[in-house]
Structure 1
């Protein structure tokens, strides 16, 4: 691990802890690569585990065309989910615990088997899934004004902050995820809609991509982990007093409030 990687990781950790924004890495280091960015993220993960935090899952970002266009990138990214990020369905989150949060609706996959790339297929993901659950991912960026490129968001743990997990669970065979719709409401007003096909054609396809990408870093998706396969629509900015509800039809609903 180079000194530069460690310094950038420490800079992001300090920004997260103190709720301060930093200049994009891509605006000040044109030699930084996507692979470097993943090593920065993994250094952050290592330090958080050393602090006593537990990895509870992984998240894929930028799988939908809407999000790729919103942030001007052309491939997905990923991040790690920790136990201190978990929010119960219906809870209220202190908006001052983040810098500039946004919310995305996603279909979470709970794994009953490990998935280790590089040759994981859609079918492998289906066979390894215990159940699916409606979720809201609260994303946040330690990079100033969300002026991120792929390298910036990868280094910043996929711009992850919190995950709200619904109470209803379904077996994969009970739902057609490709066509299953989602309605996202803010303060009872519909602000976005989407379907499972937004995540690389099918959420399980996105998870297969992740398992194979992680193989480059000798990391597996683990039994008992929650995997978020990407947003079904573009992210929604939030302010104090907002209530967000995602309705996934037969899969159920999930909601969170901010104050």
Structure 2
């Protein structure tokens, strides 16, 4: 595990993509990949960062088919990954970034598997906010299989949360619409149902999946529930903005 964790952490430090783990070790398992992920998360915690939540990836059927899987994956969110809404993210902090628009949940109660339901998620949610996730890969050219992205903290980079905190009591999450802009141009649109039919379903999946590894979702954590549309490549100077029905907007600019 340490060897592959070193492989990925060096790529992050050097800002240079590396070979996929699945090419170097074709026998690497999903369970082993999650262990690699945790090694580097623990290293960053020792260095002073703290876990503030989780992200869920591969929530669209198209992405699952692309990687030949039938369920999502997850990664950890650290406080060092947070970017203030509307602020600039220096491009030297990323390798090959893409931007996704998502709905983020902030929990007021713990969620512990193995039988967490969508209703449990709704009852445990304090509020939701609009979010952008800057996904990134330490694997050169995004040449990834499932084990590669899991080991690489589910291809996480950074994330941005909007300021408008919305209670979910009267909302149908599956019908919340979103428009993603790049430099003022519409790139794509999406709706809550794009994430496994309902973003709350994704959060329930995560709570139950974490149970397999002896973990739970904690009150106060931020959960990025999955992209509502395709990820868009980001270059230096690009400005991204997502507007959501009911939730307002969220934006980020990449430094030149």
Q: Which residue of 2 aligns with 1:33?
A: 29
Paired residues of 1:99 and 1:141 also in contact (CA < 8 A) = yes
Distance 1:19 1:71 in 2: 25
Deviation at 1:52, TM superposition (A): 1.1
Deviation at 1:75, TM superposition (A): 2.4
Among 84, 90, 109, the residue aligned to 1:88: 84
Q: Which residue of 2 aligns with 1:239?
A: 235
Q: Which residue of 2 aligns with 1:144?
A: 140
The verdict on how the C-alpha distance between 1:10 and 1:146 changes in structure 2, with shifts beyond 3 A counting, is same
Paired residues of 1:199 and 1:229 also in contact (CA < 8 A) = yes
CA RMSD of aligned residues (A): 1.2
Deviation at 1:70, TM superposition (A): 5.4
The verdict on how the C-alpha distance between 1:60 and 1:252 changes in structure 2, with shifts beyond 3 A counting, is same
Gaps (5+ residues) in structure 2?
A: none
Among 13, 31, 50, the residue aligned to 1:17: 13
Deviation at 1:74, TM superposition (A): 3.7
Deviation at 1:73, TM superposition (A): 4.3
> What TM-score does the superposition give when structure 1 sets the normalisation length?
0.95
Deviation at 1:71, TM superposition (A): 5.0
Say if 2:80 is the partner of 1:97.
Answer: no
> What TM-score does the superposition give when structure 2 sets the normalisation length?
0.97
Aligned length: 255
Secondary structure of 2:172's match?
Answer: coil
Q: Deviations over 1:96-137 (max 9, x none)?
A: 211000000000000001111111111111110000000000
Q: Which moved more, 1:74-83 or 1:222-231?
A: 74-83
Deviation at 1:175, TM superposition (A): 2.3
Among 167, 172, 178, the residue aligned to 2:174: 178
Secondary structure of 2:219's match?
Answer: coil
Gaps (5+ residues) in structure 1?
A: none
Secondary structure of 1:21's match?
Answer: coil
Paired residues of 1:66 and 1:234 also in contact (CA < 8 A) = no
Q: Which residue of 2 aligns with 1:62?
A: 58
Say if 2:106 is the partner of 1:122.
Answer: no
Deviation at 1:171, TM superposition (A): 0.2
Q: Which residue of 2 aligns with 1:167?
A: 163
Q: Which residue of 2 aligns with 1:53?
A: 49
The verdict on how the C-alpha distance between 1:72 and 1:147 changes in structure 2, with shifts beyond 3 A counting, is farther
Distance 1:180 1:70 in 2: 26
